[in-house]
Amino acid sequence: MDIGIDLGTSEVKVVLVDDAQRVVGQAHSAVLISRLQPLWSEQNPHDWWAATVDALAQLRVAHPQAFAAVRGLGLSGQMHGATLLDANNNVLRPAILWNDGRSHAQCAELEQRAPDSRRITGNIAMPGFTAPKLLWVEQHEPEIFARTARVLLPKDYLRLRLTGEAVSDMSDSAGTLWLDVAKREWSNAMLDATHLKRSHMPRLVEGSEASGTVLPKVAAQLGLPANVIVAGGAGDNAASAAGIGVAAPGTAFLSLGTSGVFFVANAAFSPNPARAVHAFCHAFPGTWHQMTVMLTAASALRWLRNATNAESEAQLVAEAQALPEGTAVPIFLPYLSGERTPHNDPHASGVFFGLTHDHGRGHLAQAVLEGVAFAFLDGQQALLDGGARIDTVTLVGGGSRSAPWAQVLADTLARTLDRRSGADVGAALGAARLARLARTNERVADVCTAPPMLDSFTPRTARTDLLAGRHRQFQRLYGALKSEMALTPPG
């Protein structure tokens, strides 16, 4: 029996998984975000621990016998957050989260200090990453920086509370900009650029390796058995991949959530920072992954629902489906929150192009479905340009429940997309699977299997050809409007 703990931005989610890989129980506990100033996003690490204790208590009450049989525990979490501790492991300030944007200037400074940063880390320096946050702290809170003895990622703070050990895994650490991602070790050059040393960093393990055991006093507090092994774990996307069987090179998942992610497992480090592709270590030894991120995906349809007073997003999709075959619809640029891959453009904004008196809400809905798919196609091309091999793709996320949207994506990407059962459990299930690997030393291929298939969506050649032409126009429109977007203040 294993437990997976996923520390998300809004909640801690825990799952209890038996030896047959059935999810026996789940529990959640909310965590609040503090936004004291524009661009700031912070959380109190003590709140993470309190929410974890609460969620595990719920699980213990609901499933006492299974809880008592737990032998492994895995951790997943929101990436990039900077948790600063003093020499006695006391928290020095609220953690600065992945979606905090205050360190834009420090990103440029970091790349100037470390000219080889993109080669070493495989990524463009962005405010979401951890290292620029420490430059900001050094410049704006020097007394805090001077007292900082250790920097931990969010899930690794939970590990410290559980085991007393300062440890991180490769996949999460790859998102700090301190890791030499190809070598899977801390980079002295990147640490020097932020005036830190290896002593500030946790010990590194693979995600499927043991990182320690739960302390006896903590086990007693939580009601866990003695000597529960804690796995290295993973960042949230790598853990989600473990949960849905995206482990072997060439396997991939596409997440149609509030934002969008296209994640593919690789046999080698394959960076493409020029196209804003993230290249990270995977949760398993000798495996890496590439990932594209689009900032607005399913949330674009939610925005249209609110803007047009539609009853639901399903109604919008139905109205789009009711359009006669061959109906002309506008082109939609889905950059409602700027864009990351492939443009890395915070000034990018949303656009409907080609509106006429003949267009109604259904036409706008179809344009949104296609526009989000076009942005994913941009991401797919960036992955392929970076050396990715994509053999199979599992479609996940809230938007994936829409079969018509899934078909639009398949047609646009010219690629079969599979939907699988249990994909919603995601990162917490992946963390539990990593716990099992850490305590049993089984083969990754035997544990991190794909859930049963629900259905598949196969591209239709005629639609793919039509959408390819519209995608080329989509790309030309962004190119033509980019300079104007930069001159237009948001809001």
Based on its alpha-carbon atoms, the radius of gyration of the chain, rounded to whole angstroms, reads: 22
**Residue-wise DSSP of 35-95:** --STT--EE-HHHHHHHHHHHHHHHHHH-HHHHHT--EEEEEE-SS-BEEE-TT--B-SPE
CB proximity list for 347: less than 8 A, separation 6 or greater: 338, 482, 485, 486, 488, 490
SS3 162: helix
Element containing residue 473 per DSSP (H, E):
helix 461-487
CB proximity list for 471: less than 8 A, separation 6 or greater: 374, 377, 412
How do beta strands 2-7 and 72-77 pair?
parallel
Q: Tell me how far apart the alpha carbons of residues 263 and 246 are, in angstroms, rounded to a whole number.
A: 9
Task: Tell me the C-alpha to C-alpha distance, in Å, between residue 1 and each of 6, 12, 77, 232.
Answer: 17, 20, 21, 17
Residue ranges of E strands in 224-364: 229-231, 234-235, 251-256, 260-266, 278-281, 288-294, 331-333, 351-353
CB proximity list for 343: less than 8 A, separation 6 or greater: 276, 335, 478, 482
Angle CA 406–409–415, to nearest 5: 105
Catalytic residue among 2, 6, 180, 236: 236
Main-chain phi, psi angles of 293, to 5 degrees: -130, 125
Q: Cis before residue 342, ω within 30 degrees of 0? A: yes
Main-chain phi, psi angles of 455, to 5 degrees: -165, 170
SS3 253: strand
Asked about 236 being catalytic, the answer comes back as: yes
End-to-end CA distance of the chain: 50
Two structure tokens written together for 170: 């490769």
CB 347 within 8 Å of CB 310: no
Write out the catalytic residue numbers.
236
